[in-house]
């Protein structure tokens, strides 16, 4: 079996998604989960981009043991110096440097020419090699780069000492056959020495996974992926899709180091921490991925699972025999479910979550994994400066919609009332009366986790304040309460 290296960029490319930013503690939590999952390389950030990214790379380097920790740079010496400093605690460190190679980048981004770009690429790789032995080079927008010129670039950086060469389909433009042919051309026309080629495909046309697999079939031995396929614009290649496709096709004679039974718990953890819902029909980890509603399908599955399921749900960490959580479940059952979801809590935290769990279980028949993740995530609310003390609304048809709101701002109590076009509008106006900030709601999304009128509603809200965008999130069986909590959550991001 040939080894396929899994390079996870959830904490770099994935974390660039608006509203998905994590603090350092959360990034360490994700990095430890990725280590447990079995990824080979963790791209921890872009240290030169901000002090926060620099610190995250430092702390992740300290926190994990066996994966390679990778730091992104431009082909700029100062970037490389900063990355090397951030990686000083890494047991195995990699600098990921590169430059755009397509005519679009050379002409419009760098106002340069092909020969000068190659010179800059060689210089960057050689400079990075002064710090670390493991240097990866990315040829940005390789998907739209002429193959002959791309081969010249790859040969040059391999000769300069690159151990991995990344061939990104940065814009998600390539067709699978086109991307596969590009990888094959490089394999056939470049002396790779001991270096390997890597895929890095985007989802703009919905072909990221297909392109990555075609890259692997044509000789690439590293794939760059994110959990749940999160990433800029339409996203990146999904780790879970590539890994399970390779695992399902044993005739390929390729294996990964991924512990597939941890895929689902890690997926749910990332979704919760980044406030990024997983679409129900998402391959492998969507809630409908193993659901059967068609009578014909149900009949077939009841007779033999293999009639309609090519993957055993247990293989990705979905336990059909999981303990059902109800209002009669004890702390042990709740803690067991938290552990299955890769959430570690101490006794005090468990007691707080358990009280909220009982309150929810009294209002809702079935407690899902999503509910448990939300309950666990709500612990961060107590650290906020502004807290929702109480909310009372009067709404209906033919009457005025009125909301009474109480806020606790740094220990001081405030109250306000307002009317609006509906209960949510009235409640948010009442909050605005207290905080007195001119904000504009740019996006307001309400999503049910499962089905039914007693379900938990998740609210994602995007606010604009003084030209900056802020994101809020909450979940509650009362969607009016969830909406106000999400609004307050967003305000806490800019009110100091």
pLDDT tens track for 149-160: 999 999 999 999
Rounded to 5 degrees, what angle do the CA atoms 164, 166, 167 make?
Answer: 140
Give how far the C-alpha of residue 145 lies from the chain's centroid of Cα atoms, to the nearest Å. Answer: 28
pLDDT of residue 204: 97
Three-class SS of residue 138? strand
Mean pLDDT of the 351-380 span: 75
Cα distances (angstroms) measured from residue 362 to each of 322, 330, 332, 454, 462? 20, 14, 18, 11, 31
pLDDT of residue 471: 81
How does pLDDT run across 41-68, given as a tens digit for each residue? 999 999 999 999 999 999 999 999 999 9
* Average pLDDT in the chain: 89
Residue with more model confidence, 191 or 347 = 191
Residue with more model confidence, 3 or 486 = 3
Instruction: Give the length of the chain.
Output: 496
How does pLDDT run across 181-223, given as a tens digit for each residue? 999 999 999 999 999 999 999 999 999 999 999 999 999 999 9
Q: How many other C-beta atoms can be found within 10 angstroms of the C-beta atom of residue 415?
A: 13
Residue 305 has pLDDT above 80, yes or no: no
292 confidence band (pLDDT: 50, 70, 90): low
Residue 291 has pLDDT above 70, yes or no: no
Candidate ranges 102-111, 266-275, 340-349, 362-371; pick with highest mean pLDDT: 102-111
Mean pLDDT of the 93-117 span: 97
Residue 93 has pLDDT above 80, yes or no: yes
Mean pLDDT of the 2-16 span: 95
> Edge-to-edge strand order for the sheet containing 401-409?
386-394, 401-409, 412-420
Give the count of alpha carbons within 13 A of 481, CB side only: 12
Candidate ranges 252-261, 353-362, 409-418; pick with highest mean pLDDT: 252-261
The C-alpha R_g of the chain, in whole angstroms, comes to: 25
Helix 147-160 / helix 114-129 crossing angle, nearest 10 deg: 30
pLDDT of residue 473: 80
Question: Minimum mean pLDDT among 99-103, 241-245, 277-281: which range?
Answer: 277-281
pTM of the model: 0.74
Q: d(Cα 234, Cα 219) in Å, to the nearest integer? A: 26
Residue 108 has pLDDT above 60, yes or no: yes
Phi and psi at 47, nearest 5°, equal -55, -35
321 confidence band (pLDDT: 50, 70, 90): very low
pLDDT of residue 360: 81
Ramachandran class of 31: left when φ > 0, alpha when ψ lies in -120 to 50, beta otherwise:
alpha
pLDDT of residue 431: 95
Mean pLDDT of the 441-456 span: 73
Question: Minimum mean pLDDT among 60-64, 293-297, 410-414, 448-452: which range?
Answer: 293-297
pLDDT of residue 495: 81
Residue 322 has pLDDT above 50, yes or no: no
pLDDT of residue 314: 83
pLDDT of residue 184: 98
320 confidence band (pLDDT: 50, 70, 90): low
Nearest-CA neighbor of 129 among 157, 101, 90? 157
261 confidence band (pLDDT: 50, 70, 90): very high
pLDDT of residue 423: 94
Question: Minimum mean pLDDT among 191-195, 389-393, 490-494: which range?
Answer: 490-494
Residue with more model confidence, 259 or 288 = 259
Mean pLDDT of the 240-266 span: 96
Element (H, E) at 2: strand 2-3
Question: Minimum mean pLDDT among 85-99, 138-152, 470-484: which range?
Answer: 470-484
Mean pLDDT of the 377-388 span: 69
Residue ranges with strand state E in 131-253: 134-140, 164-169, 196-201, 222-225
**What share of the chain has pLDDT > 90, as a percent?**
63
**What share of the chain has pLDDT > 70, as a percent?**
90
């Amino acid at each position: 079996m040939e080894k396929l290296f899994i390079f996870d960029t959830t904490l770099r490319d994935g974390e660039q998604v608006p509203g998905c930013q994590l603090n350092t503690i959360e990034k360490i939590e994700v990095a430890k989960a990725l280590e447990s999952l079995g990824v080979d390389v963790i791209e921890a950030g872009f240290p030169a981009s901000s002090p926060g990214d620099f610190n995250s790379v430092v702390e992740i380097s300290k926190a994990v043991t066996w994966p390679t920790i990778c730091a992104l740079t431009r082909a700029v010496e100062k970037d490389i110096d900063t990355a090397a400093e951030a990686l000083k605690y890494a047991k195995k460190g990699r600098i990921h440097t590169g430059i755009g190679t397509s005519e679009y980048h050379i002409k419009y981004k760098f106002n340069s020419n092909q020969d000068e770009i190659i010179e800059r690429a060689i210089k960057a790789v050689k400079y990075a090699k002064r710090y670390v032995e493991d240097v990866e080079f990315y040829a940005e927008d390789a998907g739209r780069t002429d193959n002959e010129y791309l081969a010249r670039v790859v040969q040059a950086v391999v000769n300069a000492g690159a151990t991995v060469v990344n061939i990104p389909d940065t814009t998600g433009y390539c067709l699978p056959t086109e991307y596969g042919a590009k990888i094959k051309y490089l394999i056939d026309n470049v002396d790779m020495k001991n270096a390997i080629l890597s895929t890095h495909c985007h989802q703009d046309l919905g072909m990221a996974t297909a392109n990555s697999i075609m890259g692997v079939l044509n000789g690439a031995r590293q794939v760059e992926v994110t959990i749940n396929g999160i990433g800029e614009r339409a996203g990146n290649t999904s780790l879970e899709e590539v890994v399970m496709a390779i695992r399902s096709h044993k005739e390929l004679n390729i294996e990964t180091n991924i512990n597939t039974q941890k895929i689902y718990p890690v997926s749910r953890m990332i979704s919760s921490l980044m406030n990024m819902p997983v679409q129900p029909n998402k391959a492998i980890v969507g809630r409908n991925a193993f659901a059967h509603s068609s009578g014909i399908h149900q009949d077939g599955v009841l007779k033999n699972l293999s009639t309609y399921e090519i993957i055993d749900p247990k293989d990705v960490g979905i336990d059909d025999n999981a303990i059902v959580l109800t209002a009669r479940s004890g702390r042990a059952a709740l803690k067991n479910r938290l552990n299955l979801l890769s959430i570690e809590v101490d006794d005090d935290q468990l007691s707080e979550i358990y009280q909220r769990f009982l309150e929810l279980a009294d209002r809702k028949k079935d407690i899902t994994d999503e509910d448990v993740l939300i309950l666990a995530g709500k612990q961060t609310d107590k650290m906020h400066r502004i807290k929702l003390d109480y909310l009372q609304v009067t709404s209906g048809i033919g009457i005025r919609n009125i909301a009474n709101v109480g806020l606790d701002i740094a220990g001081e109590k405030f109250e306000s009332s307002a009317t609006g076009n509906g209960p949510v509008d009235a409640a948010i106006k009442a909050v605005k009366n207290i905080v007195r900030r001119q904000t504009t709601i740019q996006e307001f999304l309400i999503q049910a986790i499962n089905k039914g009128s007693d379900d938990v509603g998740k609210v994602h809200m995007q606010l604009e304040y003084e030209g900056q965008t802020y994101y809020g999130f909450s979940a509650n069986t009362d969607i009016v309460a969830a909406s106000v909590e999400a609004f307050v959550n967003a305000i806490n991001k800019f009110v100091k």
